[in-house]
């Protein structure tokens, strides 16, 4: 059967996964009466809850006697490592662009990678039925983007389709016809995307996606570059430096058929398949015939920019809510994650009780923490820190800079510019983006953006949209002002009492509720001033035999600040940790004992002096 391999790439929320739903529907992948979930490719719980794609996934449809393998990719810059890898597997890309928003930072990032690999993209202008659509301007912006990314003349001559993924149609003109469904897109893929190039020689394949299957064990997905592979065939795995990782037998070969995977008897060059049976081979390794000695080189991956410490939970409540608490369990889980996710880097500390986990951004690390807590892990995590580098020529300290694009109502643009300048950001561009909105573009240090998302939404009453993308390393920009308020710290262990909390309300907003368990050194609220304050939230009401009217009225408390995981990670300071368990998210000081805290404070001040 004829083959085509394509990826769908776009910015977050531009409609990739919805488009894949329609392609599957209209290609006859489902039965007439089959019940299908919305955004069927977003299969894991976190993807469904957040409405975003986190992992790249492959599917396959048949159109006019040609099998089209489609890879759905994430749109968030934090998961860019997923996109960089899958570009090895495909021969073409559909670049999906929102008809109102136009090309955004992530579009630029992925298209740049795709053009570098030599892919000839198809541009699909999605959501043309939006009331604020500006179709012709967006087409011009896409052309300018391609030109800025040094596209070849052949790549600049890209075909354009217009349509609405949600309504299930694409056409050569913005006004339709919208009666042909997705047929124009399928036909264009067959005409424009070349058939997979196949090399001569024995079986070779680069591992691109790794997953654990409960029945088949470890499964590696990739595109077969040359030769064929059969079940029970003995193959070997070569690492990028040419050393043999392992030799083993292929137990099963699965190919994508719609959203299901079916076992096949022969994997042929050019097809995207999943191989089971090998226990050590991982992403970027070469899976090959025993006669092959030289590995294939995978695409280089951009380096991580943010790091966090994952520490064994040592609070007084450790082990009460989760069942996976030891350093060995945490280490095994992190190493397993790093195998499949090439954008993550794990380092063990000398004391073996903490691990430094580096990734592309807070969201990527927060998703990892959330996944672990749902699996029953208890950990303490530090504030995200940026990964600095030294300039080899001058010895100067370099820090990661991000390109930040903020769409905001005109009335709030002043406060956004002010807050970004406080965070050492340089404004590059400011222009109207239609509908009384402004588009602001900044180059800002990554460490200045940690925790800015929630502050931005508060400043702009929820109307701003922020997108960010790693730009480059630049000289260190100096100290940044951190959180201005201190914290309220519990001075004893027990259960919080409403009466005590009511008396502390003028000290600052609380983060706990009556009846919650607290311990010495745990953060229970935010102080109204800039210093930390130890408080007693356990003090009950003195009982006496004198009853006066009005004395025993119910205590009414102000609702506490609700801390989500991302909010907590951004809010804490360097001497604080977030304790994450399957049931709770608590904030605490690194040193729970007050004397220990004072000692470290004095040492820090002496070091600074």
Over residues 468-499, the pLDDT tens digits come to 778 888 898 888 776 678 899 999 999 998 88
What tens digit of pLDDT does each residue of 166-210 get?
888 889 888 878 888 888 888 999 999 988 888 888 999 988 888
- Domain spans in the chain, listed from the N-terminal domain onward: 2-192, 204-288, 389-475, 487-543+550-608
Return the ∠ at Cα 378 (arms to 374 and 384), rounded to 5°: 90
Q: Are 280 and 243 in contact (CB under 8 A)?
A: no
Q: pLDDT tens digits, residue range 262-276?
A: 899 999 988 889 899
pLDDT of residue 33: 46
| DSSP string for 340-353 | H-TT-EEEE-TTSS
pLDDT 10s digits, 564-604 = 888 888 888 888 999 999 999 999 999 999 899 889 888 88
Q: Which residue in the block uniquely carries the two structure tokens 């892919």? A: 119
* SS3 at position 98: strand
3-state DSSP assignment of residue 285 = coil
**Is 108 annotated among the ligand-binding residues?**
no
pLDDT at residue 482, as a whole number: 67
- Tell me: is residue 129 an annotated ligand-binding position: yes
Q: How far apart are CA 109 and CA 403, in angstroms?
A: 11
Is 467 annotated among the ligand-binding residues? no
Q: What confidence category does residue 297 fall into, taking pLDDT thresholds of 50, 70 and 90?
A: confident
Distance CA 208, CA 299 (A): 10
8-state DSSP, 28: T
Q: How confident is the model at residue 609 (pLDDT cuts 50, 70, 90)?
A: low
Q: What percentage of the chain has pLDDT greater than the value 90?
A: 23
| Residue-wise pLDDT tens digits, 20-39 | 777 777 766 554 445 444 44
Res 40 pLDDT > 50:
no
Between 340 and 406, the higher pLDDT residue: 406
Q: Where are the beta strands (DSSP E) in 483-565?
A: 487-490, 494-495, 517-518, 522-526, 533-535
Which helix (H) or strand (E) element contains residue 112?
Answer: helix 105-117
Q: How far apart are CA 274 and CA 253, in angstroms?
A: 6
Average pLDDT over residues 228-246: 90
- Pairing status of strand 204-206 against strand 286-288: antiparallel
Q: How many CA atoms lie within 13 Å of 271's alpha carbon, on the beta-carbon side?
A: 23
Residue of 236, 233, 257, 256 lying closest to 246 (CA atoms): 236
Strands 260-263 and 252-257: antiparallel
Task: Check residue 36 and give its pLDDT.
Answer: 47
Q: How much is the average pLDDT of 111-135?
A: 87
- Asked: is 204-288 a CATH 2.40.30.10 domain? The reply is yes
Quick one: pLDDT at residue 51?
62
Residue 460 assigned ligand-binding role: no
C-alpha span between 434 and 387 (Å, rounded)? 37
Known binding residue 128? Answer is yes
- pLDDT tier at 123, thresholds 50, 70, 90: very high
Q: What is the mean pLDDT of residues 332-348?
A: 83
Question: Mean per-residue pLDDT for 58-67?
Answer: 85
For 343-385, write each residue's pLDDT tens digit: 788 888 887 788 999 888 787 888 899 999 999 999 999 988 8
- pLDDT over 70, % of the chain: 90
Q: What is the pLDDT of residue 256?
A: 82
In this predicted structure, what is the pLDDT of residue 63?
A: 86
pLDDT (0 to 100) of residue 28: 66
DSSP string, 192-241: HSPPPP-BSSS-EEE--EEEEETTTEEEEEEEEEESEE-TT-EEEEE-TT
The CATH class, in words, for 389-475 is alpha beta
* Residue 15 among known ligand-binding residues: yes
The CATH homologous superfamily for domain 2-192 is P-loop containing nucleotide triphosphate hydrolases (3.40.50.300)
Strands (E), 243-326: 244-249, 252-257, 260-263, 267-268, 272-276, 286-288, 306-312
Query: What are the backbone angles phi and psi of residue 19, rounded to the nearest 5°?
Result: -65, -40
Average pLDDT, the chain: 84
Specify the pLDDT at position 552. Answer: 47
Grade residue 551 by pLDDT with cuts at 50, 70 and 90: low
Model pLDDT, residue 433: 75
180 carries a ligand binding annotation: no
Q: What is the structure's pLDDT at 48?
A: 60
**In which band, very low, low, confident or very high, does the pLDDT at 550 lie, cut at 50, 70 and 90?**
low
Burial class, 109, CB count within 10 angstroms (exposed 0-12 / middle 13-18 / buried 19+): buried
pLDDT of residue 581: 93
Question: Cα separation of 351 and 593, whole Å?
Answer: 21
Structure tokens at 294: 């030289």
Backbone angles phi, psi at 296, to 5 degrees: -90, 150
Question: What does the alpha-carbon distance between residue 441 and residue 404 come to, in Å, rounded to a whole number?
Answer: 6
Contact assessment for residue 53 and residue 41, using Cβ atoms and an 8 Å cutoff: yes
pLDDT of 76: 64
Is 199 known to sit in a ligand binding site? no
Place of tokens 């994650």: 337
Protein fold of 487-543+550-608: OB fold (Dihydrolipoamide Acetyltransferase, E2P) (2.40.50)
Confidence of residue 49 (pLDDT cuts 50, 70, 90): low
Q: Nearest 5°: phi and psi at 479?
A: -70, 145
Q: How, if at all, do strands 397-409 and 465-475 pair? A: antiparallel
């Amino acid at each position: 059967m004829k083959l085509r391999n394509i990826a769908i790439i776009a910015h977050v929320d531009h409609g990739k996964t919805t488009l894949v739903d329609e392609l599957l529907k209209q290609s006859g992948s489902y039965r007439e009466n089959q019940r299908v979930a919305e955004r069927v490719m977003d299969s894991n719980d976190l993807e469904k809850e957040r409405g975003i794609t986190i992992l790249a996934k492959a599917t396959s449809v048949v159109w006019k006697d040609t099998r089209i393998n489609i890879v759905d990719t994430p749109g968030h810059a934090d998961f860019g490592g997923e996109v960089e890898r899958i570009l090895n597997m495909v021969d073409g890309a559909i670049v999906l662009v929102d008809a109102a928003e136009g090309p955004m930072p992530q579009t630029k990032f992925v298209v740049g990678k795709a053009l570098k690999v030599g892919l000839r993209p198809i541009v699909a202008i999605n959501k043309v039925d939006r009331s604020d659509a500006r179709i012709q301007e967006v087409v011009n912006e896409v052309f300018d983007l391609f030109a800025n990314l040094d596209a070849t003349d052949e790549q600049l001559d890209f075909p354009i389709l217009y349509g609405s993924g949600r309504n299930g149609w694409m056409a050569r003109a913005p006004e339709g016809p919208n009666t042909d469904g997705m047929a124009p897109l399928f036909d264009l893929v067959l005409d424009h995307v070349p058939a997979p190039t196949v090399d001569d020689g024995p079986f070779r394949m680069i591992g691109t996606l790794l997953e654990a299957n409960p029945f088949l064990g470890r499964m590696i997905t990739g595109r077969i570059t040359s030769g064929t592979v059969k079940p029970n065939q003995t193959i070997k795995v070569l690492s990028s430096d040419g050393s043999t990782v392992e030799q083993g037998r292929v137990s099963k070969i699965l190919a994508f058929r719609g959203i299901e995977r079916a076992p096949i008897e022969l994997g042929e060059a050019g097809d995207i398949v999943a191989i089971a049976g090998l226990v050590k081979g991982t992403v970027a390794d070469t899976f090959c015939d025993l006669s092959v000695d030289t590995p294939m080189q995978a695409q280089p991956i951009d380096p991580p920019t943010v790091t966090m410490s994952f520490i064994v939970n040592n609070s007084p409540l450790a082990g009460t809510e989760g069942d996976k608490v030891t350093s060995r369990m945490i280490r095994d889980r992190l190493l397993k994650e790093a195998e499949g996710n090439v954008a993550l880097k794990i380092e063990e500390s000398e004391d073996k009780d903490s691990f430094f986990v580096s990734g592309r951004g807070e969201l990527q690390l927060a998703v990892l923490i959330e996944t672990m807590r749902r699996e029953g892990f208890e950990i303490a995590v530090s504030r995200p820190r940026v990964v600095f580098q030294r300039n080899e020529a001058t010895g100067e300290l370099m820090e990661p800079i991000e390109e930040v694009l903020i769409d905001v109502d005109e009335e709030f643009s002043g406060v956004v510019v002010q807050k970004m300048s406080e965070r050492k950001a340089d404004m590059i561009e400011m222009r109207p983006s239609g509908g009384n909105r402004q588009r602001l573009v900044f180059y800002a240090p990554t460490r200045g953006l940690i925790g800015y998302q929630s502050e931005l939404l508060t400043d702009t009453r929820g109307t701003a949209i922020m997108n960010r993308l790693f730009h480059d390393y630049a000289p260190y920009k100096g100290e940044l002002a951190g959180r201005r308020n201190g914290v309220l710290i519990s001075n004893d262990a027990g259960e919080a009492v409403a009466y005590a909390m009511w008396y502390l309300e003028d000290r600052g907003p609380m983060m706990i509720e009556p009846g919650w368990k607290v311990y010495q050194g745990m953060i229970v609220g935010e102080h109204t001033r800039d210093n930390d304050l130890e408080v007693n939230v356990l003090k009950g009401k003195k009982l006496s035999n004198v009853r006066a009217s009005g004395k025993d009225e119910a205590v009414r408390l102000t609702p506490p600040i609700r801390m989500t995981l991302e909010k907590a990670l951004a809010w804490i300071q360097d001497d604080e940790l977030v304790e994450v368990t399957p049931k709770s998210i608590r904030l605490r000081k690194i040193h729970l004992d007050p004397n220990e805290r004072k000692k470290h404070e004095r040492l820090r001040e002496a070091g600074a002096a």
